């Protein structure tokens, strides 16, 4: 959507003046993206639409970064390089919301809110382009693929993202949360957990179910491994520290009278501290290899990393600046400290690769009265669908507006202000 701009010799443009005019287009974008979700690194339609909107808003547009990533560059004189990021991939989830704009792709859904993230960033890009007389510097707008696989951010960096404008001065991003729409949640330091996903193959020796003495049964071995892994957190991690170890998949056997050759497990680990992370991963390897040896396996087990997300850590100074400016815009009653989130993100890969401060915050997206009532009655976890649920359905208003405002407010805080 092309917005009219105030003449450069007139009064400075209010960066939010055009938001009401823009909102109908953003609502249409959100419902369209929700209706047409695309899995990680397959976001061709999504990327094309977002690139088109950036071009229309006057950005220098780069596509195909990290596979299907899109970057827009808006140069507006000397000053800081501010990077704003949104992820764009969906999940392999069958939607159950019954929304009028529910997913039309069987088995695929925007169950984590990346459609809202993309809408927010597209709107912020439009407003900041419209109000170029209110700020100075270079804006780098990044629509990232493959966040759900934990590799999209690194892929975009490898493809030369920072060669476009140099390394950013600051990297900003946000995520929709199952909190009241209109609320903004910030947190200094660590805000989201690291995740490690492992695939473990246990090699047994198969045979007939009537002659177990001739086999090494991987089903029994897998059962021992699953139980023993649960002792890592309870017996090896201090009560003052935190970790989660989950065996999410276990596959073994093809029939009731066949002892299989192997068992395959997929394990998910969540930690908030690098030393704890290393300790948990080392314990998993020790236990798996030890149980395999105790069972007399003919081959050692295979342990392979299939996904890895770093801890998301906010720069304290930059977070304090953003929290202050959010409180001034939205009111202190709507800007709260975020809890530690056990979910994970690859957002911090950008700040780490750039050597720049980064800040990630949360924006509520649910009906405020429903959320507050559920909290007061102790039913929040049961009644308010969270990210990745097939029932996850943010309210469009005021969620779209608030998420655009937070990105624009955050960017302006770090740009050199014209005047």
Q: How many helices (H) and strands (E) does the chain have?
A: 12, 17
Is 95 assigned a ligand-binding role in the annotation?
no
The model's pTM is 0.93
Taking the alpha carbons at both ends of the chain, their separation in whole angstroms is 27
- How remote is the C-alpha of 311 from its chain's centroid? 12
Q: What is the H or E stretch that residue 265 is in?
A: strand 262-271
- pLDDT of 291 reads 98
CA distance 407 to 155: 24
Do 91 and 109 meet the contact criterion of CB atoms below 8 Å apart?
Answer: yes
What pLDDT sits at residue 13? 85
Q: Mind listing the domains of the chain with CATH numbers?
A: 19-192+311-417 (3.40.630.10), 194-309 (3.30.70.360)
The predicted pLDDT at position 12 comes to: 76
pLDDT at 256: 97
Nearest to 121 by CA among 143, 100, 103, 152: 143
Quickly count: other Cβ atoms within 10 Å of residue 107's Cβ. Answer: 12
Q: Which position has the token pair 């609320």? A: 183
- For 49-86, letters b (16+ CB in 10 Å) and e give bbbebbeebbbebbbebbbbbbbbbbebeebbbbbbbb
The Cα–Cα gap between 41 and 271 comes to: 26
Decide: 226 and 237 in contact? Cβ < 8 Å.
Answer: no
Output the six-digit token pair for 223. Answer: 């059962």
Q: What is the pLDDT along the chain (419 residues), one digit of tens a residue?
A: 545 444 445 567 899 999 999 999 999 999 999 999 999 999 999 999 999 999 999 999 999 999 999 999 999 999 999 999 999 999 999 999 999 999 999 999 999 999 999 999 999 999 999 999 999 999 999 999 999 999 999 999 999 999 999 999 999 999 999 999 999 999 999 999 999 999 999 999 999 999 999 999 999 999 999 999 999 999 999 999 999 999 999 999 999 999 999 999 999 999 999 999 999 999 999 999 999 999 999 999 999 999 999 999 999 999 999 999 999 999 999 999 999 999 999 999 999 999 999 999 999 999 999 999 999 999 999 999 999 999 999 999 999 999 999 999 999 999 966 54
Write down the pLDDT at residue 10: 56
> How many residues belong to the chain?
419
- Choice among 38, 89, 196, 217 that is catalytic: 89
From the candidates 43, 147, 217, 291, give the one annotated as an active-site residue: 147
114 is in an annotated binding site: yes
For residues 203 and 182, give the distance between their C-alpha atoms in angstroms, rounded to a whole number: 52
Phi, psi of 195 (to 5 degrees): -130, 140
Evaluate the CA torsion angle 143, 145, 149, 151 in order and state its sign: negative
CB 248 within 8 A of CB 266: yes
- Supply φ then ψ for residue 24, to 5 degrees: -60, -40
Nearest to 156 by CA among 256, 55, 72: 72
Distance, CA of 174 to CA of 167 (rounded, Å): 20
For the record, the structure tokens of 302 come out as 């295979």
Q: Are strands 69-76 and 60-65 parallel, antiparallel or unpaired?
A: antiparallel
Joined tokens for residue 1: 């959507």
98 catalytic residue (yes or no): no
The yes-or-no answer on residue 147 being catalytic is yes
Q: What is the pLDDT of residue 5?
A: 43
């Amino acid at each position: 959507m092309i917005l009219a701009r105030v003449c450069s010799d007139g009064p400075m443009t209010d960066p939010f003046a055009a938001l009401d005019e823009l909102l109908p287009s953003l609502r249409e974008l959100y419902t369209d993206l929700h209706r047409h979700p695309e899995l990680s690194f397959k976001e061709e339609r999504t990327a094309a639409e977002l690139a088109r909107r950036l071009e229309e808003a006057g950005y220098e547009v780069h596509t195909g970064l990290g596979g299907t990533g899109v970057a827009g560059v808006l140069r507006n004189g000397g000053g800081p390089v501010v990077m704003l990021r949104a992820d764009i991939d969906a999940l392999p989830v069958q939607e159950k919301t019954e929304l009028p704009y529910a997913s039309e792709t069987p088995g695929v859904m925007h169950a984590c809110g990346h459609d809202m993230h993309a809408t927010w960033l597209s709107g912020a890009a439009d407003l900041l382009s419209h109000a170029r007389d209110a700020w100075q510097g270079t804006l780098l707008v990044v629509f990232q693929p493959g966040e759900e696989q934990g590799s999209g951010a690194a892929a975009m960096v490898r493809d030369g993202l920072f060669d476009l404008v140099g390394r950013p001065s600051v990297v900003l991003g946000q995520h929709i949360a199952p909190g009241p729409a209109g609320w903004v949640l910030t947190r200094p330091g660590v805000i989201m957990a690291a995740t490690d996903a492992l695939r473990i193959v246990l090699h047994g020796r198969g045979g007939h179910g009537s002659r177990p003495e001739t086999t090494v049964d991987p089903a029994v071995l897998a059962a021992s491994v699953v139980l023993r892994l649960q002792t890592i957190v309870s017996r090896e991690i201090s009560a003052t520290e935190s970790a989660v170890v989950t065996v999410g998949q276990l596959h073994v056997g093809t029939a009731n009278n066949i002892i299989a050759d192997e068992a395959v497990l997929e394990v998910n680990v969540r930690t908030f501290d690098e030393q704890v992370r290393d300790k948990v991963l080392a314990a998993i390897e020790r236990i798996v290899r030890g149980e395999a040896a105790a069972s007399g396996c003919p081959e050692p087990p295979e342990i392979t990393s299939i996904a890895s997300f770093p801890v998301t850590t906010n720069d304290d100074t930059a977070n304090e600046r953003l929290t202050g400016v959010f409180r001034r815009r939205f009111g202190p009653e709507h800007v709260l400290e975020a809890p530690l989130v056990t979910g994970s993100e690859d957002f911090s890969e950008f700040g780490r690769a750039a050597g720049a401060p980064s800040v990630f915050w949360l924006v509520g997206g649910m009906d405020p009265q429903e959320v507050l009532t559920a909290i007061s009655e102790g039913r929040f976890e049961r009644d308010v669908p969270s990210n990745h649920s097939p029932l996850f359905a943010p309210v469009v208003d005021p969620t779209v507006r608030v998420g655009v405002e937070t990105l624009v407010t955050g960017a302006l805080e770090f740009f050199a202000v014209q005047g």
